[in-house]
Amino acid sequence: MALYIKNARTAGEEPLELILENGKILASGPRLVPPPGCETLDARGMTAAAGVLDMHVHLREPGFEYKEDIESGGRAAAAGGVTAVACMPNTKPVTDTPERVRYVLDRAAAASPVRVLPIAAISMGEKGETLTDFEALAASGAVAFSDDGVPVMSDALMRDAMLRAKPLGRPVISHCEDFGFAEPYPASRRHPLLGDDLMITNMEESMAARDIALAIETGAPVHIAHISTAVSAELVRRAKRLGAPVTCETCPHYLLLDESAVAAFGANAKMNPPLRTARDRAAMLDAVCDGTVDAIVTDHAPHSAEEKARPLENAPNGIIGLETLIGGALTALRGRLPLAVILEKLTAAPHRLLGLEAPSFEPGSAAEITLIDPDERWTLRAEDIRSKSKNSPFVGMEFVGRANVTIVNGKIVFSRIQ
């Protein structure tokens, strides 16, 4: 059955109506005549976004299904207005073979209401010793390569990974954490093209500097995951000015919270990279606004209540975020960026970074639509969370802007509209 969406608007405040059929956009425009007998959805007061993609999530399956699985993570994504997710490979076993990529795809096709795009490991077992078979992994459906959760410590292995990924059109996503970091940061490892006036102060910045230097050296792209500091942002900014093939992402928690949240929320505000200073938070907001940050993602990392109840130093890193991605981004950036620019960092940008065609409102495009009330005020309640895990510092926080309807493959997979 066709679906007729009326009275919506675009992010640019233009009137928009849509007719969806067979998983595609059949027609779009300001005033449409729906076919007889189709379902009608009145989207008055709502803004339509096409193809909300969270390109950095941990679905925990296989191996850690007590935290999350592909089905529950898909439900959480749908409730947050996310129509597609790219999932990291640090499962058990690690997603490092074509068979394990296909497992994720098959499970998602059977159980998830949203699209699931597997990211494959850079190294076998994420041990940082031997590269995976990039060509076979890409052919099996992997959209990117990352050892997220642990860094690739070997400079040579990371260089080879970037060069192997380049002709495949798949990005290498770097988890920037330098286990060999020591103060003061050795000046000999700074790349002169990045400048010598940046004081590298932590493990994230050290590894970001290395991977940016490798991108400059090789001409091969690298995507820096979950940047969180003023210096990391400035490193990426300078690299882009030099024309280096460097992109990056950040998360709503680095835009909304600083290190003081750990005192308030304990382990539910413990993550890696950690929450930083108020100065870093302000710098991250600036980096989103000036275009240094390409995409906004969640780094959705579920953990059980028992794990997060451990003493802070023993509790695992990570927070959930799929159900607060849109609300968090809109709340943090409200009044700083036009709505259209904010939504671009949640839709077209992550698709572009993964080398994928982004859904749109054009006839023939995949019907992946999120209807958002950008002015709705709402509070996250633990009892409303669809994820298996509840480890969020945002419980009890008020957001401005909410996804109310999620449509995937032309079908409504979540709706708050009665």
pLDDT in tens, 47-79: 999 999 999 999 999 999 999 999 999 999 999
**What confidence tier does 196 reach under pLDDT thresholds 50, 70, 90?**
confident
pLDDT reading at 378 higher than 80: yes
Asked if 299 is an active-site residue, the reply is yes
Please state the rounded mean pLDDT for residues 10-36.
Answer: 95
C-alpha–C-alpha distance, residues 118 and 266, integer Å: 31
For residues 171 and 223, is the Cβ–Cβ distance under 8 A? yes
Residue 243 to residues 78, 204, 298, 370, Cα–Cα distance (Å): 37, 22, 27, 34
Distance, CA of 15 to CA of 30 (rounded, Å): 5
Taking each continuous run of H as one helix and of E as one strand, the counts in the chain are 13, 16
Q: Report how far apart, in Å, the C-alpha atoms of 41 and of each of 34, 238, 360 are.
A: 11, 46, 19
**Residue spans of alpha helices (H) in 80-170:** 98-111, 134-140, 155-165
- pLDDT of residue 359 exceeding 80, the answer is yes
pLDDT (average), residues 187-215: 86
Average model confidence (pLDDT) for the chain?
Answer: 96
3-state secondary structure 3-25: EEEEEEECCCCCEEEEEEECCEE
Q: How sure is the predictor about 199, in pLDDT bands with cuts at 50, 70 and 90?
A: confident
Please name the residue ranges forming H helices in 309-361.
325-333, 339-344, 348-353
214 backbone dihedrals φ, ψ, rounded to 5°: -65, -40
Contact in structure between 347 and 49 (CB atoms under 8 Å)? yes
Cα 27 from Cα 13, distance rounded (Å): 19
- Domain residues of the chain, as ranges? 49-353
CA-CA-CA-CA torsion sign (317, 291, 401, 378) = positive
The answer, yes or no, to whether residue 253 has pLDDT greater than 80, is yes
Which DSSP category does 224 fall into?
E
The predicted model gives 18-27 an average pLDDT of 97
Decide if pLDDT at 416 tops 90: yes
Average pLDDT over residues 319-336: 98
Residue 312 has pLDDT above 90, yes or no: yes
Q: Which fold has domain 49-353?
A: TIM Barrel (3.20.20)
- Position 198 scores a pLDDT of 85
Residue bearing the bigger pLDDT, 196 or 201: 201
| Residues 302, 57: Cα–Cα separation, whole Å | 9
Q: How far is CA 349 from the centre of its chain?
A: 10
Q: Is the dihedral of CA 91, 142, 385, 273 positive or negative?
A: positive
Q: What is the tens place of the pLDDT at every residue in 383-402? A: 999 999 999 999 999 999 99
Structure tokens at 212: 């940016």
Which of 69, 147, 211, 299 is labelled catalytic? Answer: 299
* Tokens of residue 96, six digits: 């490092």
Look at residue 313 and tell me whether its pLDDT is greater than 80.
yes
Cβ(400)–Cβ(90) below 8 Å: no
Q: What is the pLDDT of residue 194?
A: 80
Mean pLDDT of 355-378: 98
The Cα–Cα gap between 411 and 3 comes to: 8
Residue 39 parent element (H or E): strand 39-42
- For position 197, what pLDDT does the model report? 83
Q: Which residues pair with 296 in a beta bridge?
A: 250
- Whether the pLDDT of residue 189 is over 80: the answer is no
Q: What is the pLDDT of residue 302?
A: 98
Residue 187 has pLDDT above 70, yes or no: no
Confirm if 48 and 5 have CB atoms less than 8 A apart.
yes
Q: What is the mean pLDDT of residues 102-127?
A: 98
Least confident of 27-36, 223-232, 239-248, 377-386: 27-36
For the chain, helix, strand, coil in percent to 5 are: 35, 20, 45
**Is the pLDDT score of 291 beyond 70?**
yes
Span 236-250, average pLDDT: 97
How much of the chain, in percent, has pLDDT values that exceed 90?
Answer: 93
Query: Which pLDDT does position 184 carry in this prediction?
Result: 67
Helix (H) or strand (E) holding 207: helix 203-218
338-362 burial string, b = 16+ CB within 10 Å, else e?
ebeebbbbbbbbbbbbbebebbbbe
